[in-house]
Amino acid sequence: MAATIYHNPKCSTSRKTLQRMRDAGVEPTIVKYLETPPSRVALEKMISDAGLEVRQAVRKREALYKELDLTDATDDQLLDAMATNPILIERPFVVTDKGTRLTRPVESVDEIL
């Protein structure tokens, strides 16, 4: 199975998701999205494919969210901010042949493995 995880090794949820995938016998392509962020178009597709609203995919507790005053931002403004500042992207996103999920909770990755 082809699988990709948009991973932040400092995030416990991201590490747990990666381990859960490996425990299921799936060795994903690991994209450290803070170093290699998805394009705005790819980000928008992942969010849509996961069945989320843009606002559900942004890290609202991140200090930069407040600094950029994104509380009342439009979807386009949020996508631009996330594409420019990948620290604002909620994590981890997992993409497989069976679908895309923002794996919060971690167990939601099981739906696409």
Q: Which residues are catalytic?
A: 11
CA angle 108, 110, 113 (to 5 degrees): 130
Phi and psi for 5 in degrees, rounded to 5? -115, 130
Distance CA 42, CA 26 (A): 22
Distance CA 35, CA 24 (A): 27
